[in-house]
Amino acid sequence: MAYDLLEPLQYQGAADLRRRAQQWFDGYDGPMAYEIRDLVVASSHDVAFCHGLHHVAGTTKSGQRIDMWWRATQGFRCIDDKWRIVHEHSSLPFDMARGKVSFQLKP
Cα end-to-end distance, the chain, whole Å: 27
HSE, CB side, 13 Å, CA atoms: give it for residue 38: 12
CATH numbers and ranges of domains, the chain: 2-95 (3.10.450.50)
Tens digit of each residue's pLDDT (9 = 90 or more) over 51-85: 999 999 999 999 999 999 999 999 999 999 999 99
pLDDT band per the 50, 70, 90 thresholds, residue 12: confident
